[in-house]
Amino acid sequence: MVSPLTQDRQALKKSVDNIQEPQGGTKFWDSLRYVLAILNASANSLRRSAVVVMTDGVDNAVPEVFGDGSQTSFDKLLQIVRDSDAIVFPIYLDTEDEEYKRHRTPRSAFAIAREQLGLLAVASGTRLYRATKVKDLEDVYQHVIGDVGRIYSIGYRPSNSLRDGKWRSVSVQINERQDVTARTKPGYYARSLPN
């Protein structure tokens, strides 16, 4: 870990500036699970949490990728993202050509990673952002900031009031505005409220 969660920007910048050259494989799924666990444990019902993750998405657990991968399966991670109150904003940084040349990472791994990042976005009610090179990230981050600023909470009373832990699909449509798209989580689990 480079830095714990902090609001001290100077301490965070110092930690980021001191990042050493990474060693070993990529455990993206474990990393995102870890961050969501921290956010969910410290959740304050009055605050929203968002995770902006910039990655090529290739976990070493993806088939044919050399090295130790995550202990968390992708299916488990997807479930955690669905369950989380935190919103995940995935940014795909295209490193395919570079990694193929350097480590012979199969191109199929990048196709899998892009698909998985898209599934994480859908599960979180966001979209997959893309950057073809590092210098594109500034524009991408501006789009993310804009989208974070347009998050709204809506509520409704379900016709099925059973708290049986089962999945309830939800769809939001904006009838009066054809120029606006609502991105939402696809549903929720009907669980008992905490005491």
pLDDT tens track for 18-33: 888 777 778 999 999 9
Q: Which pTM value belongs to this model? A: 0.82
Report the DSSP pairing between strands 129-131 and 50-55.
Answer: unpaired
- Please give the CATH number for the structural domain made up of 9-153: 3.40.50
What per-residue confidence (pLDDT) applies to 27?
A: 92
Give the percent of the chain with pLDDT over 70: 96
Neighbour-count burial of 29, counting CB atoms closer than 10 A to its CB (0-12 exposed, 13-18 middle, 19+ buried): buried
What per-residue confidence (pLDDT) applies to 178?
A: 82
Report whether 177 contacts 149 (CB < 8 A): no
CA angle 48, 49, 52 (to 5 degrees): 140
Report whether 60 contacts 26 (CB < 8 A): yes
Q: How does pLDDT run across 35-53, given as a tens digit for each residue?
A: 999 888 876 655 778 999 9
Instruction: Retrieve residue 20's tokens.
Output: 């050493």
What per-residue confidence (pLDDT) applies to 71?
A: 95
Each domain of the chain, given as residue ranges in start order, spans 9-153
Residue with tokens 């009907």: 190
